[in-house]
Structure 1
Amino acid sequence: MNNQLLERKLNYTETKKNPLNLSLLTVIILLFLSIITVWWLIPTKDPYVEQVLSFQGNIERGGAIFQVNCAGCHGINANGNVGPSLKDVSKHKSEVQIINQVVSGKTPPMPKFQPSPEDMADLLSYLRQLNK
């Protein structure tokens, strides 16, 4: 009987003295929470953007789309008017940023514009050539 009490006391004392179990559990929980947080913050790919980028884009068609939808604010030669100049826009914004700028409507007075993915690819190729 004494041995059993002594053994229980020793096991309890060893568990109490060994903070490694608690520290390891804390580290595992923090690691798990960190992984979930990072996974949540990583942007998911936008199917529209992915589809736009899958097209080659036609500069001539993009120019026509620009003249009809964009030239009123950005000027016939994209030098700016009500909207800013778009010359060298590809040097300042990535293709994804340009696509999001065009379709979002988040920068008034620019309206939300939702071209088909192929039309957006054409417009993008036209804007890209404005750097040349």
Structure 2
Amino acid sequence: MFEPYVQEVLSLKGDMNKGRAIFKTNCAECHGLQADGSVGPSLHQVHRHKFKIKLIHQVTSGKTPPMPKFKPSFQ
């Protein structure tokens, strides 16, 4: 069984505008506005080598320095 936050994230239906806003506010400074890498790596092909659950844990754990621990609210 997954932790409640992971379950919540996996149950969400995508919303491009909300996702873009969350990314722009929290991720674009390091990963670039087009997610093509800057300080942080490009995110364009990350789905090919990371499973959804591992990606969620990587983003929310804070165990990938210098990326901070991050848990957005979806409300």
> Could you tell me the TM-score, scaled by structure 1's length?
0.53
* Alignment of 1:88 onto 2:45: yes
Count of residues paired in the alignment: 75
Give me the whole-angstrom Cα distance separating, in 1, the residues matched to 2:2 and 2:21: 29
User: Which secondary structure state, in structure 1, belongs to the residue aligned with residue 47 of structure 2?
Assistant: helix
Aligned to 1:100: 57
- Equivalent of 1:67, from 18, 24, 27? 24
Give the percent of matched residue pairs that are identical in Structure 1 and Structure 2.
56
Q: Any unmatched runs of 5+ in structure 1?
A: 1-43, 120-132
Give me the whole-angstrom Cα distance separating, in 1, the residues matched to 2:69 and 2:4: 18
Aligned to 1:15: none
Aligned to 1:112: 69
Q: Any unmatched runs of 5+ in structure 2?
A: none
Code of the residue aligned with 1:102 in structure 2: it is V
Aligned to 1:16: none
Task: Give the aligned CA root-mean-square deviation in angstroms.
Answer: 1.3
> Could you tell me the TM-score, scaled by structure 2's length?
0.90
Higher relative CO (Cα under 8 Å, sequence separation at least 6) belongs to 1
Larger radius of gyration: 1
Larger helix percent:
1
